[in-house]
Amino acid sequence: KNQVEQSPQSLIILEGKNCTLQCNYTVSPFSNLRWYKQDTGRGPVSLTIMTFSENTKSNGRYTATLDADTKQSSLHITASQLSDSASYICVVSDRGSTLGRLYFGRGTQLTVWP
Amino acid sequence: EADIYQTPRYLVIGTGKKITLECSQTMGHDKMYWYQQDPGMELHLIHYSYGVNSTEKGDLSSESTVSRIRTEHFPLTLESARPSHTSQYLCASSDTAGSTEAFFGQGTRLTVV
């Protein structure tokens, strides 16, 4: 069964600190993995997208890693800001169908305190 | 900034009413999707479309229906709203290329009383 599991479920950190969010998946055949940021009550916004051959991709203070062999990904946030408070969703796409199915994790709820 | 729009953003409506949630995109994307998301939970695919006149049911059973008469427009309709339909509904679109990202609308928060 194709699944995406994220940990931790929620995380509280102080402003300026770093944190790492985890994503494990069983989706096969794998096409790509994306990290989205979703503010409360709004639609998800893409942070990074990585294909099978990419190990690391950065977007400002966000750095995503992918290990396709162990089917694990992480999102590292550096020097956190209050505006980073949001849900971070790991999304994996398969390539076994025309649709390019998207499988969503439940997200990690990050809260940054001043 | 993604060019995909949903209206209304918030809707409170009585049981038994018919409602239509609007979704439009100006990117010329062929694929469009409707997701349902309860608070703190993952997104569940309820409908998708490959293009004009193409609509398919998603993973999560839904009493809603969709139509795709124009590329840019993918409305979702509930003929008779019930409290169990209370949720957030997110519309997304992507182009045909497999590795492209999906762009999401801001969502419609539906409350049926």
| Mean of pLDDT values over B5-15 | 96
CB contact, 8 Å: A45 with chain B? yes
Using the predicted structure, report yes or no on whether residue A18 has a pLDDT greater than 80.
yes
Determine the distance from the C-alpha atom of residue B79 to the mean position of all C-alpha atoms in its chain, rounded to a whole number: 15
Residue among B46, B28, B29 nearest B37 (CA): B46
The pLDDT assigned to A40 comes to 85
What percent of chain B has a predicted confidence (pLDDT) above 90? 70
Q: Which residues of B touch A35 (CB under 8 A)?
A: none
Does the beta-carbon distance from A89 to B43 stay under 8 Å? yes
Cα A109 from Cα B9, distance rounded (Å): 22
The CA-to-CA distance between both ends of chain A, in Å, stands at 41
- State how far the alpha carbon of B50 is from the alpha carbons of A76, B47, B102, B105, in Å: 34, 11, 13, 18
Per the prediction, chain B carries an average pLDDT of: 90
Residue A99: what residue type?
L
Q: Which residues of A touch B2 (CB under 8 A)?
A: 45
| Mean of pLDDT values over B41-48 | 89
Closest-CA distance of chain A to residue B101, Å: 7
Mean pLDDT comparison of A14-23, A85-94, B45-54, highest-scoring range: A14-23
Q: Which residues of A touch B101 (CB under 8 A)?
A: 34, 46, 49
| Higher-scoring residue by pLDDT: B97, B11 | B11
DSSP state of A71: T
Q: Looking at chain A, which residue has its C-alpha nearest residue B4?
A: A43
Summarised one tens digit per residue, pLDDT across range A72-111 is 999 999 999 999 999 999 999 887 655 567 788 999 999 9
The pLDDT assigned to A53 comes to 87
Does the beta-carbon distance from A43 to B50 stay under 8 Å? no
Closest-CA distance of chain A to residue B70, Å: 19
